Amino acid sequence: MASPSSPPDPVELWPQVQPEAARRLMRAGLESFARRGYHATTTRHIATGAGMSPAALYVHFSSKAALLTEISRSGHEWTLSLVRQAVARGTDPVERMRALVEEFVAWHAEQHVVARVAQYELAALPEEAHRVVKGLRRETEQVVRSTIRDGVEAGVFDVPDVRVAARAVLSLGIDVARWYSERGPRTPADLGQEYADLVLRMLGVRPAR
């Protein structure tokens, strides 16, 4: 876990990427995509950021697009697995939804750079990667919807439209990546708890006090 004053090393997100040089390239790509945007980033920017030659980049990634694909796909897989694990921990719909929002929001604060690139550069993904990422997003949305639906069926949630509510829950979490800063007063975990309270109210749960 990173300290609140420095952004966490995204490399922890990519343990499966080997060798270490490939992870270094992903981190340099991530930084440049976040700062300049995907289209303004060249493979030279990425290689230089990783302290390597442009030719060395191609040993690990066939293109800039392949590197974006790996960042985006792994970020989306991570969040899907995060929400799946959160809702699998209990049976009470209120507690499952609380865990889901806490984890989803905290991740988007902690990994705001990864999340911004994954969210804002969707249109830059090659067609096949776009299809895969869209599938992961659909699955994540299904987890949220079915958790809301369980709560509605149990009589603890009350929403006019499950799809709109699910979209709003995800939207609140994703938008954290746009504005979150380590220099602000809130830790990712604080924010997750505050947002979980707000979401539960939005879903019609009265705060117990």
Question: Can you give the binding site for its own copies, defined by CB under 8 A?
Answer: 35-40, 119-120, 123, 158-161, 164-165, 167-168, 171-172, 174-176, 178-179, 191, 194-195, 197-199, 201-204, 207
Under 8 Å between Cβ of 97 and 203: yes
Cis? peptide before 19, omega within 30° of 0? yes
Distance in Å, CB of 149 to its own copies, minimum: 16
Distance in Å, CB of 87 to its own copies, minimum: 21
Report the C-alpha gap between 57 and 36 in whole angstroms.
19
Distance in Å, CB of 160 to its own copies, minimum: 6
Under 8 Å between Cβ of 100 and 144: yes
Q: Indicate the residue among 51 and 184 with the shorter CB distance to its own copies.
A: 184
Find tokens 């509605």 and name the residue: 152
Tokens of 150: 């369980």
Distance in Å, CB of 54 to its own copies, minimum: 19
CA angle 71/63/30 to nearest 5° reads: 30
Q: Indicate the residue among 21 and 168 with the shorter CB distance to its own copies.
A: 168
Distance in Å, CB of 37 to its own copies, minimum: 3
What is 50-105 written as a DSSP string? TTS-HHHHHHH-SSHHHHHHHHHHHHHHHHHHHHHHHHHT-S-HHHHHHHHHHHHH
Distance in Å, CB of 201 to its own copies, minimum: 5
Tokens of 207: 């705060």
Name the phi and psi angles at 159, rounded to 5: -125, 145
